[in-house]
């Protein structure tokens, strides 16, 4: 113990020497504390709030206003925290002054009160506040609705195609259409997307066609991924959408690296990294969040907390108050939003994007939603969750129904529009499937390309051996491939 | 020495049974003795695994039913049965991993939570490094930690825990500590529609790591006996299960608690013209090739390696000395695959007996491709062609 204290004193001495440089850094910034005072560290527990220092820039004043005053208070406001009067002083420590206290108080684990969830539309589709709907124009709202319905119909068709054995696998986004589409709508097409896999709606919003989705799922020669990956693993450089990789969470540190590039290039764009609730348990989640914070990169992390990772409920995944609270420990500003409220998601992501770019900082968004479909076509979710739970989220909490009610209330949508769009998308999907099915598979040569930029000698030799085998044993190989 | 080798070479002969039985008892002794490896009575030694009652019965001769109850079952049921026995026979055994509670995505852990409770069979957070690290800690405290990695393709986040931790736990502590109670199960291999990340055969990475064992069963009966041996082996084991066979392969499996020896290859089929070595699901493809070759008058000896490290060189060497030719086949890419190690060892040991170059029929040096799977795989005819060209060299 004594040794530890001695060491600490030395460390402090060391910091005192370097203090001047720290101080100059700090004076150039407007000192400001956003102290989060929800249950995790509320006064009533006698816990000191955890201050997070951040640069305030002119351009983000508007965004700051949207930080819920219930959960954020600035230092300029009266600081009525109780510091023991006998020991008012603190110490300079890298990261800012740390106050001393003689009270031994632990930061509590989450209590019963949870971080509230921002929403605009009630489940009935009625806005909580009258003015808010002006944020989204009729044109944007109907386009968003169109896309949500398109995603839903596409999912139904491709899921069915798998059931009929036409494709090998599929993952639906049922129940998560609002997170998909509304987040995409709030972004610029220059923003770089690193998705998990249940975010095809972002690609759809950016103009990836139903035919392109279907081609990928059929792995035909028109698939830009050359049929090499399982269905639902889309990617399109044209749409700034990195190709999906199955291993969970690997995209998160990569997102930080991509965002660093945007930062270095002074781009007016950010990276948006999507993930599921299960994803937050991986080591790469930690790496991604921490790198993003330390490197001060423009990135919006969007976690779709849909209650399950395959069969594993979130109660087996983490004991924190969901995902939103994880951001703070990394020094990342975070918010929880109703993921089934397209308007709320839109507002949050738009604001998050603005802050991420203008302040060059990561933002974490936790969208509460529900995976209405099975995990994938390999899963039967009734084995691990009650049908009534699925039904509740499918019907009463449907993000599509909610948004539809709202646009109908505004007089922007009616039954006729509804019938028309569903009919049109169904027709398009039927056609897309027919076309995709008729296209032959990628040429066999593509088995060996792209391993490296150029085929190696070994690969050239292996391709020759394969061609000999195909000639010798044509019956061993499928015929719908160009050899 | 030569006698022993000849006995082993005979495969199904009495010799292997006897030797096997001895080795099997050795395994049981190893388990019993690891409880007393610590010299002073410490917390750790008091927690070390000591199976209650007599060591589990060992059925060495897997080709003979010992008169007990035998049921036809598929691979996942055999694994499930082995896990039931592992938990039942050792109160300090645990089964855990992603989605394990509801039975696992391949149903291997079905019914275990109900039977043994949520404290012994449980879901983990989605984190492979966590699963293996947790398993190492649990095992180091004298428990049997049976960890499931959902797909072998997702074992890489745990690579550090396996390679730098599990494999070196005993060595770096001068044998004060060990995590021998750890077994990592992971489904591997092609299934027809798995693409890059649900098809891989990563065994070779782990065969480069002294300190762990790598075991791959080929069938339900083998899986049960090898898994029980792996769980009870005093060393950490990575146990790769051929997932394409989970539901397909059905075999008669004794209901009893039996173990099959590790580091012991099995001659599945005797022959005189060429030796074929493989493991796991690939063996059934190789067996078909052997049957076809037989029609052309080529007599093939087929060896299931079963344990990849430490592997049974003697059995392979004895066979190659007899046939003078060797073909190795695996799904993983040919370059740096475990076939390379076998080939090098055989050249070292019986260079002068070889009558043809050693053939390797394996996956290509590409990632595992979804739509090109039928082209990528080492098929029966690729093997058959190689058998013929090797024999006619
Ligand atoms: C590293 C890794 N481990 C395991 C898996 C298998 N797996 C695929 S999806 C999934 C659950 C992911 O859950 P979540 O992040 O909540 O996303 P959701 O499916 O709910 O959208 C698991 C365990 C994987 N793909 N990658
Ligand atoms: Mg989830």
- Position A110 scores a pLDDT of 86
The label of the residue with tokens 């592997």 reads B311
Tens of pLDDT, residue by residue over A225-239, are: 999 999 999 999 999
Q: Which residue of the set A246, A261, A311, A469 is catalytic?
A: A246
Task: Tell me which residue of A350, A347, A349, A344 sits closest to A403, measured CA to CA.
Answer: A344
pLDDT at B323 over 70: yes
Assigned CATH topology for domain B69-254: Rossmann fold (3.40.50)
pLDDT at B13 over 50: no
Over residues B29-36, the mean pLDDT reads 33
* A476 reaches B (C-beta below 8 A): yes
Q: What region does A460 belong to: left with phi over 0, alpha with psi -120 to 50, or beta?
A: alpha
- Position A125 scores a pLDDT of 87
Over residues A325-341, the mean pLDDT reads 98
Over residues B128-140, the mean pLDDT reads 98
Asked if residue B94 has a cis previous peptide bond (ω within 30° of 0), the answer is no
Residue of A196, A247, A323 to mutate, interface with B, max B Cβ within 10 Å: A247
Which residues from chain A sit within 8 angstroms of residue B194, using beta carbons? Answer: 230
Choose one of B105, B147, B153, B154 to mutate for the ligand 1 pocket test, by most ligand atoms within 8 angstroms of C-beta. Answer: B154
- Position B325 scores a pLDDT of 98
Strand B274-278 to strand B300-304: parallel, antiparallel, or no bridges (unpaired)? Answer: parallel
Decide: B103 and A384 in contact? Cβ < 8 Å.
Answer: no
Report how far apart, in Å, the C-alpha atoms of A332 and of each of A206, A329, A369 are.
28, 7, 22
Angle between helix B14-33 and B220-232 (nearest 10)? 30
Mean pLDDT (chain B) is: 88
pLDDT at A15 over 50: no
The label of the residue with tokens 């684990």 reads A109
Q: Ligand 1 site: residues with CB under 6 angstroms?
A: A 198, 246-248, 276-279, 304, 306, 308-310, 371, 375; B 98, 126, 128, 150, 154, 157
Tens of pLDDT, residue by residue over B372-381, are: 999 999 999 9
d(CA B30, CA B234): 6
**What's the CA angle centered on B97, arms A367 and B255, to 5 degrees?**
145
Over residues B219-229, the mean pLDDT reads 98
Query: Which among A248, A316, A378 has CB closest to B123?
Result: A316
- Is the domain spanning A138-438 CATH 3.40.50.970? The answer is yes
pLDDT at B26 over 60: no
* A53 reaches B (C-beta below 8 A): no
**Numbered ranges of CATH 3.40.50.970 in chain B:** 69-254
Task: Tell me which residue of B381, B372, B374, B279 sits closest to B330, measured CA to CA.
Answer: B279
Q: Sign of the C-alpha dihedral, residues A338, A341, A346, A347?
A: negative
Q: Which residue of the set A334, A358, A376, A381 is catalytic?
A: A376
Choose one of A194, A252, A275, A278 to mutate for the ligand 1 pocket test, by most ligand atoms within 8 angstroms of C-beta. Answer: A278
Rounded to two decimals, the pTM is 0.86
ipTM of the prediction: 0.86
pLDDT at B294 over 80: yes
Q: Mind telling me how many Å the CA of A317 is from chain B's nearest CA?
A: 5
Report how far apart, in Å, the C-alpha atoms of B106 and of each of B19, B79, B99, B370 are.
35, 11, 10, 20
Decide: A54 and A360 in contact? Cβ < 8 Å.
Answer: no
- Nearest residue in B to A312, CA atom: B99
**Closest ligand 1 atom to A310 CA:** 11
Over residues A13-38, the mean pLDDT reads 36
pLDDT at B54 over 50: no
Q: Mind telling me how many Å the CA of A170 is from chain B's nearest CA?
A: 11
**Numbered ranges of CATH 3.40.50.920 in chain B:** 266-391
Q: Which residue has the higher pLDDT, A5 or A200?
A: A200
d(CA B362, CA B359): 10
**Closest ligand 1 atom to B126 CA:** 23
Over residues A416-421, the mean pLDDT reads 98
DSSP one-letter code for A108: P
Q: Which residue of the set B128, B148, B203, B266 is catalytic?
A: B128
Confidence of residue B249 (pLDDT cuts 50, 70, 90): confident
- Position B68 scores a pLDDT of 85
Q: Which amino acid residue places its CA nearest to atom 21 of ligand 1?
A: A276
- Position A8 scores a pLDDT of 40
Say yes or no for a CB contact (<8 Å) between B335 and A458: yes
Decide: A482 and A470 in contact? Cβ < 8 Å.
Answer: no
Say yes or no for a CB contact (<8 Å) between A282 and B371: no
Q: Mind telling me how many Å the CA of B72 is from chain A's nearest CA?
A: 25
Choose one of A195, A310, A314 to mutate for the ligand 1 pocket test, by most ligand atoms within 8 angstroms of C-beta. Answer: A310
- Nearest residue in B to A447, CA atom: B372
* A246 reaches B (C-beta below 8 A): yes
Decide: A201 and A146 in contact? Cβ < 8 Å.
Answer: no
- Position B11 scores a pLDDT of 31
Which ranges constitute the DSSP H helices of A265-373?
283-294, 326-330, 342-358
Over residues A436-450, the mean pLDDT reads 97
Confidence of residue B223 (pLDDT cuts 50, 70, 90): very high
pLDDT at A57 over 70: no
Establish whether A381 is a catalytic residue: no
pLDDT at B210 over 70: yes
- Position A111 scores a pLDDT of 87
Q: Which of A134-138, B1-5, B259-263 has the highest mean pLDDT?
A: B259-263
pLDDT at A78 over 80: no
- Position B328 scores a pLDDT of 99
Decide: B95 and B109 in contact? Cβ < 8 Å.
Answer: yes
Residue ranges per structural domain of chain A? 2-30+57-101, 138-438, 444-476
Over residues A178-198, the mean pLDDT reads 98
Say yes or no for a CB contact (<8 Å) between B372 and A317: no
Mean pLDDT (chain A) is: 86
B62 is written with which tokens?
A: 């897997």
| CATH number for the domain whose boundaries are B266-391 | 3.40.50.920
* A282 reaches B (C-beta below 8 A): yes
B261 is written with which tokens?
A: 């020896």
Say yes or no for a CB contact (<8 Å) between B196 and A279: no
Angle between helix A342-358 and A399-409 (nearest 10)? 100
Å from CA of B61 to ligand 2 middle = 47
pLDDT at A58 over 90: no
């Amino acid at each position: 113990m004594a040794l530890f204290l001695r060491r600490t004193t030395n460390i402090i001495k060391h910091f005192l020497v370097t203090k001047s440089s720290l101080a100059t850094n700090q004076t150039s910034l407007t000192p400001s504390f956003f102290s989060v005072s929800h249950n995790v560290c509320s006064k009533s527990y006698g816990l000191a709030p955890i201050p997070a220092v951040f640069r305030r820039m002119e351009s983000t004043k508007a965004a700051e206003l949207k930080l819920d005053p219930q959960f954020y208070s600035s230092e300029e406001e009266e600081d009525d925290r109780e510091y023991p009067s006998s020991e008012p002083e603190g110490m300079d420590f890298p990261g800012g002054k740390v106050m001393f206290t003689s009270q031994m108080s632990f930061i509590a684990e989450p209590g019963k009160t949870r971080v509230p969830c921002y929403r605009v539309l009630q489940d009935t589709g009625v806005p909580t506040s009258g003015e808010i709907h002006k944020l989204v124009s009729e044109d944007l709202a109907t386009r968003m609705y169109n896309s949500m319905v398109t995603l839903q119909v596409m999912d139904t068709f491709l899921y069915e195609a798998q059931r009929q054995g036409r494709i090998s696998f599929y993952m639906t986004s049922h129940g998560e259409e609002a997170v998909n589409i509304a987040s995409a709508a709030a972004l610029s097409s220059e923003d770089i997307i690193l998705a998990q896999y249940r975010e095809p709606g972002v690609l759809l919003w950016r103009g990836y066609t139903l035919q392109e989705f279907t081609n990928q799922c059929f792995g035909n020669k028109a698939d830009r991924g050359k049929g090499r990956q399982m269905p639902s693993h889309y990617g399109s450089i044209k749409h700034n959408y990195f190709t999906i990789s199955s291993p969970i969470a690997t995209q998160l540190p990569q997102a930080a690296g991509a965002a660093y590039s945007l930062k270095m290039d002074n781009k007016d764009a950010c990276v948006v990294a999507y993930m599921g609730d299960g994803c937050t348990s991986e080591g790469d989640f930690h790496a991604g969040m921490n790198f993003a914070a330390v490197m001060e990169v423009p990135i919006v992390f969007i976690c779709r907390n849909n209650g399950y990772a395959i069969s594993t409920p979130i109660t087996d995944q983490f004991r924190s108050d969901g995902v939103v609270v994880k951001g703070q420990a990394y020094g990342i500003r975070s918010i929880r939003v109703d993921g089934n409220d397209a308007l709320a998601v839109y507002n949050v992501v738009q604001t998050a994007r603005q802050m991420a770019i203008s302040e060059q900082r990561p933002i974490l968004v936790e969208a509460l939603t529900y995976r209405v479909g099975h995990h994938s076509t390999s899963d039967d979710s009734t084995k691990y969750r009650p049908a009534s739970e699925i039904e509740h989220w499918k019907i009463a909490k449907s993000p599509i129904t909610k948004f539809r009610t709202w646009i109908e209330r505004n007089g922007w949508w009616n039954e006729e529009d509804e019938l028309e769009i569903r009919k049109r998308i169904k027709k398009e999907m039927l056609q897309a499937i027919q076309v995709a099915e008729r296209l032959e598979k990628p040429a066999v040569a593509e088995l060996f390309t792209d391993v490296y930029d150029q085929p190696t000698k070994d690969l050239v030799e292996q391709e020759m051996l394969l061609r000999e085998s195909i000639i010798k044993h044509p019956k061993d190989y499928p015929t719908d491939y160009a050899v | 020495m030569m006698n022993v080798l000849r006995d082993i070479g005979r495969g199904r002969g009495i010799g292997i049974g006897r030797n096997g039985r001895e080795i099997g008892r050795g395994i049981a002794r190893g388990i019993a003795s690891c409880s007393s490896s610590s010299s002073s009575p410490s917390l750790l030694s008091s927690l070390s695994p000591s199976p209650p009652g007599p060591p589990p019965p060992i059925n060495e001769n897997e080709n003979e039913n010992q008169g007990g109850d035998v049921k036809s079952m598929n691979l996942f049921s055999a694994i499930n049965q082995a896990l039931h026995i592992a938990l039942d026979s050792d109160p300090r055994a645990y089964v855990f991993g992603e989605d394990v509670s509801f039975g696992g995505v391949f149903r291997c852990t079905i019914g275990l939570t109900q039977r043994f409770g949520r404290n012994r069979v449980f879901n983990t957070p989605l984190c492979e490094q966590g699963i293996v690290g947790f398993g190492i800690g649990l095992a180091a405290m004298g428990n049997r930690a049976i960890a499931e990695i959902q797909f072998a393709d997702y074992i890489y986040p745990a690579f550090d825990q396996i390679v730098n931790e599990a494999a070196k736990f005993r060595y770096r502590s001068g044998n004060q500590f060990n995590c021998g109670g750890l077994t990592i199960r992971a489904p591997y291999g092609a299934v027809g529609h798995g693409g890059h990340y649900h098809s891989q055969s990563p065994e070779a990475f782990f065969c480069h790591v002294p300190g762990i064992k790598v075991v791959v069963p080929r069938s339900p009966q083998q899986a049960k006996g090898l898994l029980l041996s792996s769980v009870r082996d005093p060393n950490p084991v990575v146990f790769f299960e051929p997932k394409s066979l989970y539901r397909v392969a059905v075999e008669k499996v004794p209901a009893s608690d039996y173990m099959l020896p590790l580091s012991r290859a099995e001659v599945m089929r005797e022959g005189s013209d060429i030796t074929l070595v493989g493991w796991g699901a690939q063996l059934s493809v190789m067996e078909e090739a052997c049957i076809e070759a037989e029609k052309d008058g080529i007599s093939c000896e087929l060896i299931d390696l079963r344990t990849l490290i430490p592997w049974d060189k003697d059995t392979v060497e004895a066979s190659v000395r007899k046939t003078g030719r060797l073909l190795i086949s695996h799904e993983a890419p040919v370059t740096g695959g475990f076939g390379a190690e076998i080939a090098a060892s055989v050249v070292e040991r019986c260079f002068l007996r070889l009558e043809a170059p050693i053939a390797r029929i394996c996956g290509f040096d590409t990632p595992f491709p979804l739509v090109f799977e039928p082209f990528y795989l080492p098929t029966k005819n690729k093997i058959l062609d190689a058998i013929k060209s090797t024999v006619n060299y």
